[in-house]
Amino acid sequence: MDIKSMMVKAAESQADEIRNSILETIQSEETEKYIAEKMDKAINIPFVKDEKEAKIFRDVADLITDVIYYVSGGK
């Protein structure tokens, strides 16, 4: 194997590791919590208690991270 092929293979391996790390971060509880908190601060749903809003935003954040994971090639 020549040096160019070795370098390409090493770069592809690193890219795969980074991609997997990003996908893992997207699916983490911390990311879902962060997104839910941002939505909760930005949006007020009239006539809905704060506890119920927090649950709604957490569910939406879970959906968002699942979609991002799926369209990014996650299985």
Q: Which pLDDT score is estimated for 34?
A: 97
Q: What are the CA-CA distances from residue 57 to residues 4, 48, 49 (Å)?
A: 48, 12, 12
What is Dmax (Cα atoms) for the chain? 67
DSSP 1: -
pLDDT at 11: 94
Pull the structure tokens for residue 69.
């994971």
pLDDT digit string, tens, across residues 55-73: 999 999 999 999 999 998 8
DSSP 8-class letter at 23: H
Residue range(s) defining the domain that contains residue 63: 3-71
In this prediction the pTM is 0.77
Residue appearing with tokens 């590791």: 17
Residues belonging to the chain: 75
Q: What is the pLDDT of residues 10-44, one digit of tens each?
A: 999 999 999 999 999 999 999 999 999 999 999 99
**Counted domains in the chain:** 1
pLDDT at 3 over 90: yes
